Structure 1
Amino acid sequence: MAVHTAAHHSRGQVLPFRESLLAMLGLSFVTMLVALDQTVVGTALPTIVAELRGFELYAWVATSYLLTSIITVPIFGRLGDYFGRKPFVIVSIALFTGASVLCGAANSMLFLVLARGLQGIGGGMLVGTAFASIPDLFPDSVVRLRWQVMMSTAFGIANAVGPSLGGFLTQYYGWRSVFYVNLPVGLLSLVFVFRYLPHIRHIELRGAMRLDWPGALLIALTLGSLQLFVEWVAQHGFAPRVIALLAVSAVSAFALVKWEHRCAQPILPLDMFRNRSLAALFRLSVLGGFAMFSLIFYAPLLLQGGFGLAPKDAGLVVTPLVVFITIGSIVNGRLITRIPNPNAMMFVGFGLLATSCLGIILSTRLTPHAMLMGFMMFGGLGLGFVLPNLTVFAQQTAGREHLGIATALLQSLRMIGGMFGAAMTGTLVTRMYASGVRHALDADGALQWLAQMRDPQILVNREAQRTLIDQLVHAGHNGALLLETARETLVGSIHAGIAVAMVVAVVSIWQCRRVPPIKIKRAAEPAVSAE
């Protein structure tokens, strides 16, 4: 066992440059592994459902992954604080990659949903431990910001190429290849992490470590039932079983707080929430996730379904949104250490995000593509200023003992915020669109076509549109006019949903005032041991 002393920390990094570079390459491959999976699978889903014939489980391909990952992120984030992160990163890569192979071999939708749940456990372990490994390697926050650009770049590249790669693989090699592509990336990241990532522990355990299994179970119940509540309320409204899920989440959360107060080694240290800075950053993570996911999920539908753009053109217009997250992160890393008030970057970031939402709300199908791309660029740049700073500020504030759980909670809360954002915006869009289409069809005496037109996806599928127009014309209706009315209704409903995201971004600007001034300063705080 090699022990890295404080002398290494005086340079701001635990390892020499070459070893730091190789360790960060491993973590960057891990980031690409998770980001690629999230983007390529969505493109292949319609093809998967057509072959496996299980449309009733369509949403669960995404839900099962999200459910298990949200639960496992905070649990393994805390365990990484106690036992070091390297073992969990290695196990999570192996689990994620193995589950990807199972997904590719699925012969039914149920099998695929279960394999995606297993993959989500690996993904949650990765997110909970890999992101917190960066401050392990670079205790100095100034040095860390420079190196963190590698992770942001890997994430941006994966997000930028993911949709196109998913479409290419599905078209030429079949949908199973979108899961098998994780195999080489996973093996590459495993080699780099195993060889070059040091095993660092920050908490010196006194006596035997007793895992807080009741706390872990209560976290799973709280987050799991909350996630299912958000998913189901959009589909079924406030049915008794949906309300029961919310009740289970609330009771579990109450029991979790009571238990963690009494537990000697809590998996969720509640004193973090009494820290004014951390509490404000946690709230901003929820709000940022809400606005980000609303924009990312519904901007493509607006462009394709509302403005009638071809998938290729819509993909080109949306590309600046993901590319400029990376560019914004790089610019942020350069600026944040040179300005007297680093908090200002958060104000600017949320301001740009609100401006992006406003631009999309005001846009129409006649808006030039270059202007739409400009609005997307503002959104990406804003997120590039916000996301890395939330992480760095929280790590700076939490201290070494709570570093892993603070980083993991930020990721979990962002996903929870995104889950609420996507669900709330989706519910608003679905209800407004369905109501507008029903009214238009009723006025024209064509209500029998409501089942075909109530799903906005009809406005994306051009072949289905031609069939529908022929049916309407054959029955004596103006099919093209009814479809155009549906398109205008979709535009209005998505504009309303994005308006909610804009309000959330504006509220976030106000919330930034609650974050006490953060100083990005050099710190030489030694780790307990590194193996």
Structure 2
Amino acid sequence: MAVHTAAHHSSGQVLPFRESLLAMLGVSFVTMLVALDQTVVGTALPTIVAELRGFELYAWVATSYLLASVITVPIFGRLGDYYGRKPFLIASIVVFTGASVLCGMANSMLFLVIARGLQGIGGGMLVGTAFACIPDLFPDSVVRLRWQVLMSSAFGIANAVGPSLGGFLTQYAGWRSVFYVNLPVGLLSLLFVLRYLPHLRQTAHVGRMRLDWPGALLIAIVLGSLQLFVEMVPKHGLTPTAAGLLVASVAGGYALWRWELRSPHAILPVDMFRNPGLNALFTLAVLGGFSMFSLLFYAPLLFQGGFGMSPKEAGLVITPLVVFITIGSIANGRIVSRIRNPNLMLYVGFTMIACACIAIAIATRSAPRSMLMTVMIVGGLGLGFVMPNLTVFAQQTAGREHLGIATALLQSLRMIGGMFGTALTGTLVSHLYANGVRGALTADNAAHWFPQLADPQILINRDAQTSLIGELAHAGHNGEALLEAARDALVGAIHLGIAVAAAIAVVAIWQSRRVPPIRLRRRVEPTVQAD
């Protein structure tokens, strides 16, 4: 393979305008694939679980994807530094799209969880490489911010149609169609990446590069054990199995640290964590992911199960959240390069996220739809002000040598935060809902009806509700009152979960002070193109 240095243009980009545009379209279609999947599935998930049953696996539909992504993002982020992003981007599209088909074919919750895990592997490969393509193509951070508007717009299109499309497809074509919608987007992204994205590498490696497979295995052990521990303890307490998982995670973390210190080609360069600037940004990525994913995954359940909206209505209310993430990102690109203190955007963004979470945590079923949509707009703008800046600030701080792994780690840590957010919120919802329903049934001398109301999906399935009300009435109970009590229990449980997300966002505001002053500067460094 011949390797040569690509010429830089005076505008701070590797390729001329036309080639840059086509390459960015390819990367944008790839990111659209992930964004569309997240927003469509989030809205359809309550209906999916209502049909397949097994509410105990509700959180795992999200966390299995997140866990697989978290493990693969740093691995392929580092491999992209070595070998270039394009081969891994192509592989990620194929895996992600193929797994989407399997998700659509799922006949049980367990099958769906496993298929989502495979989809997460493809999504992790994709995130670990796609975001790092941008600084490859645009070494100048100011130029990069301008071109990222294209990616933000792609996110915006996917996010704008995602929730409404998810609700529409679920209601009129069945929930399986929300996974099959990835097929045309996947094929389009594959076509553009194959044809237009150049194969760029930051450095030319001499000889065969040894891959840090022990490091990759240890990352999987640490994160996998930690996730299982987080899921198990709130439900079953500190059992011997849970204690073993915690020990495995801690021991794996220590072994990973020791191994990476002496590995010549460390997949996780530990010197990055000694950098106070990167350390602060990594912490904010975890906190931001916690709040973001809690809101994205449990607001639809609140609106449908708690407030009685249809999937389509819930999709319309959620849409401003994801649309204004994009609008916020675009506005941020205009603002952050013009103000003297770019760090200010982090404070503003996290404050808006906290306000949105607090508002949802106190919202009632009588709240006007316009008010809920306004809250979603505030939350979306806040996320749009935070997420792009964390990425660009980390790229600016890490430097060329660690650009891919720093970008990948930031995305990975954001998903770790999301993993904890969805797991903790899911655990709170399951326990508090069950306790509330049990109390209401006991008060009405109907405790033996608990199995029929134990799964909150009954509050979404209108046909099942009508049938249950009839059965309860026949047995001498007020079915509508008991269902209303169950609905109140669900609202209270989700309110508490979202309140925790609000508290985490407040902590992020405080932690933003640890980020050293960022100066967005023009810097053009050599990029290597492999033919």
- Normalising by structure 1, we get a TM-score of 0.92
- Deviates further, 53-62 or 473-482: 53-62
Q: Which runs of 5+ in 2 are unaligned?
A: none
Match of 2:392 in 1: 392
- Mapped to 1, the partners of 2:489 and 2:55 lie a distance apart of 26
Deviation at 1:346, TM superposition (A): 0.4
- CA-CA distance at 1:63 after TM superposition: 4.6
Partner of 1:330: 330
The residue that corresponds to 2:152 in the other structure is 152
Partner Cα distance (1:237, 1:42) in 2: 29
Separation in 1, partners of 2:296, 2:61: 19
Q: Partner of 2:464 in structure 1? A: 464
Q: Which residue identity is paired with 1:227?
A: Q
The letter of the residue matching 2:198 is P
Check the 8 A contact 2:19/2:196 in 1, yes or no.
yes
Counterparts of residues 447-486 of structure 1 (less than 5 Å): 447-486=447-486
Measured at CA, do residues 113 and 299 of structure 1 come closer, stay the same or move farther in structure 2, by a change above 3 Å?
Answer: closer
Residue 259 of structure 1 corresponds to 259
Question: How far is the alpha carbon of 1:106 from its aligned partner?
Answer: 6.0
Deviations 1:348-371 (A, max 9, x none): 000001111121223222222111
CA displacement at 1:107 relative to structure 2: 7.0
Deviation at 1:378, TM superposition (A): 0.6
C-alpha displacement of 1:153: 2.0
- Going from structure 1 to structure 2, the CA distance change for 1:483 and 1:230 (only over 3 Å counts) comes to same
Residue by residue, what CA displacement relative to the aligned partner does 1:439-495 show, whole Å, maximum 9, x if unpaired? Answer: 222122111122222322222222222223223333333332332222222222222
The structural deviation recorded for 1:307 is 2.2
Distance 1:284 1:244, change over 3 A: same
Which residue of the partner structure matches residue 505 of structure 1? 505
Q: Deviations over 1:35-90 (max 9, x none)?
A: 22334345666777788898887765555433322211100001111111111112
8 A Cα contact 2:167 2:315, kept in partner: no
Q: Which amino acid aligns with 1:299?
A: A
Q: Cα distance 1:498–1:99, how it changes in 2: closer, same or farther (>3 A)? A: closer
Root-mean-square deviation over aligned CA pairs: 2.5
Is 1:428 aligned to 2:428, yes or no? yes
The one-letter amino acid of 1:89's match is L
Between 330-339 and 186-195, report the one with greater CA deviation.
186-195
Change (3 A) 1:464 1:386: same
Residue number in structure 2 paired with 1:199 = 199
Choose 385-394 or 469-478, whichever is displaced more: 469-478
* Structure 1 counterpart SS, 2:514: coil
Alpha-carbon offset, residue 275 of structure 1? 0.5
Q: Secondary structure at the match of 2:518?
A: coil
* 2:43–2:300 CA contact under 8 A, matched in 1: no
| Deviation, structure 1 residue 288 | 0.3
> Structure 1 residues 166-175 or 20-29, which shifts more?
166-175
| Cα distance in 1 between the residues matched to 2:319 and 2:49 | 26
Change (3 A) 1:24 1:320: same
Partner of 2:130: 130
- 2: CA distance between counterparts of 1:147 and 1:335? 14
Q: Where do 5+ consecutive residues of structure 1 fail to align?
A: none
Instruction: Tell me the distance in 1 between the aligned counterparts of 2:106 and 2:299.
Output: 31
Deviates most, 421-430 or 259-268: 421-430
CA distance in 1, matches of 2:137, 2:287: 29
Specify the code of the residue in structure 2 equivalent to 1:38. Q
Residue 316 (structure 1) aligns with: 316
Matched to 1:526, the amino acid is P
Shift of 1:187: 2.3
How many residues are treated as equivalent by the alignment? 530
The residue correspondences of 1:202-217 to structure 2 (distance < 5 A) are 202-217=202-217
Q: Which residue of 1 aligns with 2:342?
A: 342
The equivalent residue for 1:82 is 82
Amino acid at match of 1:475: A
On the 8 A contact 1:6/1:524 being kept in 2, the answer is no
Once the 2 structures are TM-superposed, how far is the Cα of residue 247 of structure 1 from its aligned partner? Answer: 2.0
2:247 is aligned to 247
Q: Is the 8 A contact 1:472 1:479 kept in 2?
A: yes
Amino acid at match of 2:456: P
2:361 counterpart of 1:383: no
State the alpha-carbon separation in 2 of the partners of residues 11 and 207 from structure 1: 34
Partner of 2:287: 287
Q: Distance in 1 between matches of 2:421 and 2:90?
A: 32
Contact 2:171 2:311 in 1 (8 A): no
Q: Distance in 2 between matches of 1:172 and 1:470?
A: 26
The more displaced of 501-510 and 218-227 is 218-227
Partner AA of 1:458 in structure 2:
I
Determine the structure 2 residue equivalent to 1:411: 411
C-alpha spacing 1:479/1:116, structure 2 compared with 1 (3 Å):
closer
Q: Equivalences for 1:35-46 in 2 at 5 Å?
A: 35-41=35-41
CA separation of 1:333 and 1:251: change in aligned 2, threshold 3 A: same
* Worse overlay, 309-318 or 12-21: 309-318
8 A Cα contact 1:199 1:530, kept in partner: yes
Pairing 1:496–2:496 present: yes
Opposite residue 19 of structure 1, the aligned amino acid is E
Matched to 1:226, the amino acid is L
